[in-house]
Amino acid sequence: MKSLSDSWVDTLLNWFREVRHPYPWREGRSPYRVWVSEVMLQQTVAATVEERFRRWMERFPDVESLASASEEEVLRMWEGLGYYNRARNLHKSAKILADQGFPESSQGWRSLPGVGPYTAAAIGSLVLREPSPVMDANVLRFLRRFCQKGTSGEELLQSVIPRENPGEFNEALMELGQQICRPRTPLCQECPLKSLCRFFRGGETEPPPQPRKVTMKESWVLMALLQGSLLMEKTLKGRFHGLWRPPILPKRGTLPPVEEMGELFPGGFKDLRPLPPREHLYTRYRELLFPLLFFVQEAGSFQAFSQERLKELPMPTVYRRLVDETLFP
């Protein structure tokens, strides 16, 4: 006779086999495809990753093609996923893997740049069939609601994870958290495990999440044109390290900073035209951009790029949209 734990695992897996979403990384599963998808899915929703994963695999179908690419091209292909250190670590790790081969244990994966416990456990269960639970935010939320108080969720999963298909079990739990056991509006009536869930049976409610404190940053964006080309600068530090964007200046007042602009463009500028401001929300701050379009006679310390070359440069998404919509509608 099956135990209660066996029963709910079977119920979960049967539900998953009926509703599982056909994500592209679930096709032709290989260590490379699983690794790339798991890194992309860190801090990024699956719907955003789908299109970019397909595009990535068209350009970098294997670890050798990724290892041989330039960092600039890797960052360009990563656009739209944010947290660009993930792309840099993928690139660094690809060079190691192309030379040494793929690790044969999750512990071996942990030695690679940017691979933490979660990613290593996911690869270990999905590719190497290691019975290691994956504790992402969706799974932790499910456990907080499902388990009896005082029960260790991780110990529970470790005791029930199937040895024959641990990866499928992990995927099922994560998909349940994404689709059903959602943060703000859980679909409890549709949950296959509702009859065993403490949260559902007890009619419990969770306190609403505390609003995240978001700071505001305001900047002038200097969109300087030189003979049809746009002047750009490469960011050398911070979250956008290695990416290109138009020069920016902190916004401290309502009038354009012509004095500071004169220092940046000693050859002078003309036909200054303010454009509608744009807002972009990051994880912990909101940025309000005030674009200024004008013409210059000299590039100064910046580099000029034609429309075709701009398409190849890696840029933060907000600046990509600004450049494309302003200059090349």
**Which tokens is 262 given?**
């004169």
Query: Among this protein's residues, is 73 annotated catalytic?
Result: no
pLDDT of residue 1: 34
316 and 219 in contact (C-beta within 8 Å)? no
pLDDT of residue 152: 82
Round to whole Å and give the CA distance between 25 and 35. 10
Q: Which of 38, 79, 130, 171 is catalytic?
A: 38
Round to whole Å and give the CA distance between 86 and 113. 9
Domain 215-327 belongs in CATH node 3.40.50.970:
no
136 and 128 in contact (C-beta within 8 Å)? no
Positions of the chain with pLDDT lower than 50, given as ranges: 1-4
191 and 163 in contact (C-beta within 8 Å)? no
**Which tokens is 196 given?**
């065993």
pLDDT of residue 248: 95
Q: Quick one: angle between helices 117-126 and 31-41, nearest 10?
A: 140
Find tokens 């599963």 and name the residue: 29
Round to whole Å and give the CA distance between 176 and 160. 17
Q: Look up the pTM and report it.
A: 0.84
169 and 12 in contact (C-beta within 8 Å)? yes
Q: Which of the 8 DSSP states describes residue 210?
A: P
Domain 4-201 belongs in CATH node 1.10.340.30:
yes
pLDDT of residue 219: 94
**Partners of 273 in beta bridges:** 293
pLDDT of residue 239: 78
State the pairing for strand pair 229-234/215-226.
antiparallel
Neighbours of 107 (CB within 10 A): 11
Q: Which of the 8 DSSP states describes residue 135?
A: -
Q: Domain extents for the chain?
A: 4-201, 215-327
Q: Which long-range contacts (CB under 8 A, 24 or more apart) does 49-58 make?
A: 49/81, 50/23, 50/24, 52/77, 52/78, 52/80, 52/81, 53/23, 53/24, 53/25, 54/24, 57/24, 57/33
**Backbone phi, then psi, for 303, in 5-degree steps?**
-115, 140
pLDDT of residue 148: 75
